[in-house]
Amino acid sequence: MISLARHILMPTDFSDCSKNALNHAALLANKLDARITLLHVIDPPFNFPTNVDGVIDYLKENAEQHLESLIGSIDEKYPNRTFKIKHQIRIGKPISQILEAISDLNIDLVVLGSAMDAPTRKVLFGSVSTDVILRSPKPVLAVPEGVKEVSFDKILFTTNFRHKDLRNLENLAEFAGLFHSEIHVLHVSDKDDLETDIKFRGMKELVKEKKVYKKIDFSLKVHDDAFIGISEYVNEQSISTMVMNRYKKSVIGLLLDKNYAKKMSIYSKVPLLVLIGE
């Protein structure tokens, strides 16, 4: 349950987008009374076979300095912070080391940055961030480089009426309550038919019956491209955070594809929180 997250993993490559994501991780840690582990992964430089150990030692020393500097920046922003920040350096392939760290350190939430494509100013998910989002056993918050201020005022929860969507919505409601947020539940369908209407009305009534959350709104949007439909809704409602559910077979893989990422300008405007559906 994201509202009970007590250990946040923050992978960093010391880029501007990862530094920006750290600000979001710090706010969440402060609100959730969680601790943060900063993780930097050194990918062994095999093109230096005669002095690999020396090169890795240099990279580790350089990384230590960067990590201490990041912690110093959080100390300046939160001079009276009660949450703890530690750092860790691992050697290996970034995605495998991040996934191992999630398991080894009993991580509850991963926060990472998503970079901008300079010419188009659209977010492009790199292979590491995409793999983390698709393979992490814990929720992942991807923060666009351009989003400087943290806000969970209006949270969009997208649903395809899958079997764990309601459970995730209930968990999200606990989190939203900490920030007094509004929750917007949205389903985008390519056609307006009776089956979709029944599912939508059924979920709406079930949520009301279970009294999941007070400040919650439901919308059914018809659009032949679900991604564009979501993007339009985000812009129309001034959504501050977008939430999606990840299943083994779901649209989120397509959503992270570069062609769709370029199409969906919302990626440069709002963080994406991915919850686990399985």
CB-CB neighbours of 247 under 10 Å: 15
pLDDT over 50 at 203, yes or no: yes
Higher-pLDDT residue of 247 and 252 is 247
Q: Please state the rounded mean pLDDT for residues 157-181.
A: 94
Pairing state between β 109-114 and 7-11: parallel
For position 182, what pLDDT does the model report? 97
Please report the pLDDT score of residue 253 as a whole number. 59
**pLDDT value of position 144:** 84
pLDDT at 265: 56
Query: Which domains, and CATH codes, for the chain?
Result: 2-144 (3.40.50.620), 154-266 (3.40.50.620)
Asked if the model's pLDDT at residue 207 lies above 80, the reply is yes
Q: What is the mean pLDDT of the chain?
A: 86
Cα–Cα dist 37/89, whole Å: 10
The whole-number average pLDDT for the span 5-21 is: 91
Instruction: For 125, list phi and psi in degrees, rounded to 5.
Output: -80, 125
Neighbours of 224 (CB within 10 A): 10
DSSP element (H, E) containing 262: helix 258-263
Give me the mean pLDDT over the 177-192 stretch: 94
Q: Provide mean pLDDT across the span 11-28.
A: 90
Could you give the CA distance from residue 222 to residue 214 in angstroms, rounded to a whole number? 26
| pLDDT over 90 percentage in the chain | 57
Least trusted range by pLDDT, from 47-51, 65-69, 154-158: 47-51
Q: Which one is predicted more confidently, 265 or 60?
A: 60
* pTM for the whole structure: 0.89
Res. 267: pLDDT tops 60 = no
Kindly list the distances between the CA atom of residue 210 and the CA atoms of 141, 167, 203, 204, in Å, as whole numbers in the listed order: 27, 11, 11, 10
Over the stretch 59-113, which tens digit does the pLDDT of each residue have?
899 999 999 999 999 999 899 899 999 999 999 999 999 999 999 999 999 999 8
**What is the band of 56 on the pLDDT scale with cuts at 50, 70, 90?**
confident
- From residue 47, alpha-carbon distances to 13, 43, 52, 91, 193 in Å are 20, 11, 8, 15, 59
The pLDDT assigned to 252 comes to 62
**What pLDDT does residue 176 have?**
96
pLDDT of residue 122: 42
Q: Residue 167: which pLDDT band, with cuts at 50, 70 and 90?
A: very high
pLDDT number for residue 120 = 41
